[in-house]
């Protein structure tokens, strides 16, 4: 992503009055020494700078620099989502990107590509190796040389099959004190987690019985960041990833990082300070490197990971998927509009990462406090009718609560609360048109880009709910589908590509351009975008219902002295009203920018 300077200056920024080592030592003191700047913190800071190959006299990067613009869009994919016999999947992925997505996709998030033992990659055995079933570091480098590469730093936990864990059990280094433990007698009643399995796993170590902390599964053992050696190891891994082309670090499940019995062990102060520390090290190592936090939690907690422009460059817009899905299956944008009006505009140097489908499910925690219990139950029931499944999390009282809906987005949008209908394709394209117009950087899951439906065979074979949306395409079959104009997959792919092509040329679609929510009733969802130079305005309006709706152009106050047209259809908008067909989106602009 090319750096784009906003209209401003570096005035007030601290260049290097104290040196980078001292700044890092101050951050470490918050984590490990109660805020006291001790010699041990200085020594640890020097070790971290050495691991990252940083000099003490490096200047402070400008935190208000945008590393993105409207041309940027990322595709989210597993390394083996597209396969060809006889070829490493990472090579097949690059081949497909080069031949089909070059020009519309500027970046790619390759989901965990290290050797793993469970959770489709999120239980890492060795952070410094590429899973040989996918390819090697040369394949990662080749993708990163052409596309902005996002990689997962699975920072909260690693595999029980790792050498670190074997060493932990044998009281050997590295690994001796690398994993979080607790006593069953500790007060763990307030701990928040997204699973229903027991939090503690009993293991027999060489020095006796231990109870290791497992936020997610008993194969995913939480790392012990109370031990500074674990932090040093993670920093070494970050440096290795930078050397191999990773430019965006997705901090997986980072909200759970610091554990403290008697608390929720979620979003603790020291967790935020570790994010700040990683930001300091990463942005000094590479001016174009970024952090994005993966925090599938309620909306306000999620937003806290922006910090004061000193934590994540981007946060996932986790509330968008359930709210947009609810809007399109009910035909009522009330809740989506209410949420939009509450969202603060990110300051320069930060941005929302917008997505509406992912390798996981459609999270329900980010909808807490935004959708009523009745709305959530209606949404869950509708998704079950469309072939979806529901995953649960445990509550303090021992009850289980729906945590996420597992379904392919193409199937999730096949109808409304009244049942399936003939508008599935239009509804699906509408969802993406809304996302692509919003402030923020878009991330499109590969199976949304390709219009992939529920993979029931994979679901049955694995017994894992999330497998329903983790199909693996054979390249030959995918090519055949995309070459057929009548194929649903081709229609989805080319429909989204056309929207991306339009978006890339409009300055009002810069991720940090002004955005205001419009009030057009319950069935017309709209918002206004304006470029930073105020030369371009775009009114993004979607009919979210299955009935044609009339848009009174006087309701959006188009300036009469300017010519207005729909960027998508090319239709002239210098008239009193427009008729929007079911799920039609218009991007009404006073100019069509071209680069």
Residues involved in catalysis: 252
Q: Is 53 marked as binding a ligand?
A: no
Task: Classify 204 in phi/psi space as left (phi over 0), alpha (psi -120 to 50) or beta.
Answer: beta
**Residue 60, SS3?**
coil
Distance CA 503, CA 518 (A): 20
- Do 244 and 141 meet the contact criterion of CB atoms below 8 Å apart? yes
Give the pairing type, strands 208-213 and 200-205: antiparallel
- Do 449 and 75 meet the contact criterion of CB atoms below 8 Å apart? yes
Distance CA 261, CA 126 (A): 29
Distance CA 249, CA 163 (A): 24
**Residue 390, SS3?**
strand
Q: Is 233 marked as binding a ligand?
A: no
Map 452-503 to HEC letters.
CCCCHHHHHHHCCHHHHHCCCEEHHHHHHHHHCCCCHHHHHHHHHHHHHHHH
Q: Is 251 marked as binding a ligand?
A: yes
- Do 580 and 553 meet the contact criterion of CB atoms below 8 Å apart? no
- Do 549 and 583 meet the contact criterion of CB atoms below 8 Å apart? no
With CA atoms as reference, report the closest residue to 141 among 236, 241, 284, 248.
241
Within 13 Å of residue 321, how many CA atoms lie on the same side as its CB? 33
Q: Is 359 marked as binding a ligand?
A: yes
Residue 50 CB contacts under 8 Å (≥ 6 apart), including other chains = none
Q: Is 360 marked as binding a ligand?
A: yes
Peptide bond into 174 cis (omega under 30): yes
Q: Is 593 marked as binding a ligand?
A: no
Give the pairing type, strands 565-566 and 585-589: antiparallel
Burial tier of 544 (Cβ tally within 10 Å: 0-12, 13-18, 19+): buried
Find the length of the chain: 595
Residue list for the binding site for substrate: 119, 157, 250-252, 359-360, 466
Residue list for the binding site: 119, 157, 250-252, 359-360, 466
């Amino acid at each position: 992503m090319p750096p784009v300077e906003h209209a401003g200056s570096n005035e007030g920024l601290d260049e290097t009055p104290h040196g980078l080592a001292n700044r890092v030592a101050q951050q470490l003191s918050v984590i490990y020494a109660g805020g006291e700047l001790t010699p041990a913190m200085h020594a640890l800071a020097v070790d971290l700078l050495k691991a990252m190959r940083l000099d003490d006299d490096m200047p402070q990067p400008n935190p208000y620099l945008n590393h993105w613009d409207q041309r940027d869009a990322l595709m989210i994919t597993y390394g083996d989502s597209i396969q060809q016999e006889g070829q490493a999947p990472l090579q097949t992925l690059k081949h497909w990107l080069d031949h089909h997505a070059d020009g519309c996709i500027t970046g790619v998030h390759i989901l965990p590509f290290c050797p793993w033992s469970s959770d489709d990659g999120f239980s890492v055995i060795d952070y410094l190796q590429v899973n040989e079933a996918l390819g090697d570091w040369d394949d990662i480098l080749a993708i990163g040389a052409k596309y902005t590469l996002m990689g997962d730093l699975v920072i909260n936990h690693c595999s029980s099959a790792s050498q670190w864990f074997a060493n932990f059990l044998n009281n050997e280094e590295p690994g001796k004190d690398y994993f979080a433990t607790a006593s069953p007698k500790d007060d763990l009643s307030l701990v928040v987690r997204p699973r229903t399995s027991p939090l503690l796993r009993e293991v027999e170590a060489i020095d006796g019985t231990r109870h290791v902390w497992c936020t997610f599964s008993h194969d995913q053992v939480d790392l012990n960041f109370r031990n500074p050696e674990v932090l040093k190891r993670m920093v070494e891994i970050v440096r290795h990833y930078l050397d191999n082309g990773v430019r965006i670090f997705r901090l997986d499940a980072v909200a759970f990082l610091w554990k403290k019995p008697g608390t929720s062990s979620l979003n603790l102060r020291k967790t935020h300070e570790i994010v700040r520390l990683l930001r300091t090290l990463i942005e000094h190592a590479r001016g174009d490197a970024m952090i994005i936090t993966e925090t599938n939690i309620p909306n306000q907690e999620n937003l806290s990971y922006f910090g004061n422009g000193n934590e994540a460059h981007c946060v996932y817009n986790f509330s968008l998927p359930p709210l947009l899905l609810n809007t399109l299956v009910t035909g009522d944008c009330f809740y989506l509009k209410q949420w939009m009006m509450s969202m603060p505009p990110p300051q320069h140097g930060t941005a929302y990462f917008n997505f509406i489908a992912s390798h996981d499910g459609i999270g329900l925690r980010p909808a807490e406090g935004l959708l009523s219990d009745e709305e959530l139950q209606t949404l869950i029931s509708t998704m079950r009718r469309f072939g979806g499944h529901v995953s649960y999390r445990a509550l303090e009282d021992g009850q289980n609560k729906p945590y996420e809906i597992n379904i392919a987005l193409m199937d999730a949008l096949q109808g409304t609360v009244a049942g399936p209908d003939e508008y599935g394709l239009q509804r699906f394209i509408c969802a993406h048109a809304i996302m692509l117009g919003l402030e923020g950087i878009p991330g499109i899951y590969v199976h949304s880009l390709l219009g992939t439906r529920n993979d029931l065979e994979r679901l049955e074979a694995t017994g894992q709910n999330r497998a329903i949306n983790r199909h693996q395409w054979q390249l030959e079959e995918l090519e055949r589908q995309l070459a057929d104009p009548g194929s649903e997959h081709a229609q989805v792919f080319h429909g989204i590509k056309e929207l991306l092509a339009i978006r890339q040329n409009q300055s009002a679609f810069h991720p940090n351009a002004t955005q205001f929510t419009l009030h057009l009733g319950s069935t017309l969802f709209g918002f206004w975008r304006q470029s930073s130079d105020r030369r371009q305005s775009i009114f993004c309006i979607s009919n979210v219902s299955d009935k044609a709706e009339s848009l009174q152009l006087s309701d959006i106050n188009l300036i009469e002295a300017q010519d207005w047209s729909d960027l998508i259809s090319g239709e002239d908008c210098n008239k009193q009203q427009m008729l929007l067909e079911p799920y039609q989106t218009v991007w009404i602009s006073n100019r069509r920018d071209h680069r």
